[in-house]
Amino acid sequence: MPPSNIPQHVAIIMDGNGRWAKQHGLPRIEGHRRGAEAVKRCLKAAQDYGVTHLTLYAFSVENWSRPKDEVDALMDLLDRFLQDQLPELLKRKIRLRVIGRYHELPDNIQARLREAEAATRDFDQHTLGLALNYGSRTEVVDAARSIAEAAQAGTLQLDQLDYDTFRQHLYTTDMPDPDLVIRTSGESRLSNFLLLQSAYAEIYLSPVLWPAFDEAEFKNALTAYAARERRYGKTAEQLIH
Ligand code: IPE
Ligand code: IPE
Ligand code: MG
């Protein structure tokens, strides 16, 4: 039976590719390759369960500090993934939205992303968010800069700045906040992922290494979410009434 109370937006920190590869005596890149397969399974599961927004943390601003071979291999994998998956996104009417510092990504990746975003722009039932060259701290700095520019241009009055206006300057301006954040691989940290947007998200820590993540574990996360009580600062008694 599908769990009740399905979250609208699930965001996932896909972690554990390297450890999965090590456990299987394979090079790290093979873990990433198998991780891309897990992305396809997860995308399907999310759509089948009626999750409207799925955001995947694929590459952080900090991940540039990995060995060059690994970064290059990840970019190649991403290039191929985008090429392979565009027909699938079109078939299943999924809009692609990239969050992160786009212009610092390699040109070929930017071109693929632009193509896929443009081709899927009008789909409004399902969204796949891809966090690429993403970090919450750079996002906040970019938002602050954009707010300062608007104030200087006279299109924004600083004394009227509130969070609703602030959030319009974040990369996620047209996305709802995540209801559920999943981190795989047994780690218990957010690693600079959607820190502001997850202010009231429920968090599910999965012990599964990302390449082994499947529909059953996705369902476990949804079931755990359904049993949570989101209080937004209120008392439990207030929520009953
Ligand atoms: C997640 O797996 C993929 C990326 C961060 C790109 P890792 O590569 O971080 O895997 P571990 O943490 O080393 O096992
Ligand atoms: C977080 O995983 C980034 C992505 C999943 C893309 P990391 O493996 O980079 O995080 P840390 O370094 O363990 O915190
Ligand atoms: Mg990791």
Indicate the average pLDDT of the chain: 97
Distance CA 43, CA 156 (A): 38
CA of 16 to the centre of ligand 1 (A): 5
> Which numbered atom of ligand 1 lies nearest the CA of 187?
12
Q: Which residues contact 47 (CB under 8 A, 6 or more apart)?
A: 92, 94, 126
Query: Which pLDDT belongs to residue 116?
Result: 98
Query: Which pLDDT belongs to residue 4?
Result: 85
Query: Which pLDDT belongs to residue 101?
Result: 97
Best residue among 14, 17, 34 to mutate for probing ligand 1's pocket (most ligand atoms within 8 Å of CB) is 17
pLDDT tens sequence across 108-121 = 999 999 999 999 99
Distance CA 204, CA 94 (A): 25
User: Mean of the pLDDT values across residues 14-33?
Assistant: 98
Dihedral of CA atoms 107, 109, 112, 116 in degrees, nearest 10, equals -130
Q: Which ligand is nearest to the CA of 74?
A: 1
Classify 134 as helix, strand or coil.
strand
Distance CA 67, CA 106 (A): 16
- Which pTM value belongs to this model? 0.98
User: Mean of the pLDDT values across residues 41-70?
Assistant: 98
58 lines ligand 2 (CB under 6 A): yes
Structural element, H or E, at residue 120: helix 107-120
User: Mean of the pLDDT values across residues 191-215?
Assistant: 98
Strand partners, 202: 180
Q: Which ligand is nearest to the CA of 130?
A: 2
Give domain limits for the chain. Answer: 8-143+171-226
CA of 109 to the centre of ligand 3 (A): 22
Classify 233 as helix, strand or coil.
coil
Q: Which CATH class is domain 8-143+171-226?
A: alpha beta
> Which numbered atom of ligand 2 lies nearest the CA of 191?
14
The set of protein residues with a Cβ atom below 6 angstroms from ligand 1 is 14-19, 59, 63, 74, 185, 210
Structural element, H or E, at residue 69: helix 68-91
Query: Which pLDDT belongs to residue 1?
Result: 66
CB 124 within 8 A of CB 95: yes
Q: Whose CA is nearest to atom 12 of ligand 1?
A: 16
Distance CA 31, CA 240 (A): 46
How many H-runs (helices) and E-runs (strands) does the chain carry? Answer: 8, 6
Residue 171, pLDDT above cutoff 90:
yes
Distance CA 210, CA 114 (A): 27
Catalytic residue list: 15, 63
Measured N-to-C along each axis, helices 215-226 and 28-49 cross at an angle, to the nearest 10 degrees, of 50
> Which numbered atom of ligand 1 lies nearest the CA of 32?
3
Q: Whose CA is nearest to atom 8 of ligand 2?
A: 15
Residue 239, pLDDT above cutoff 70:
yes
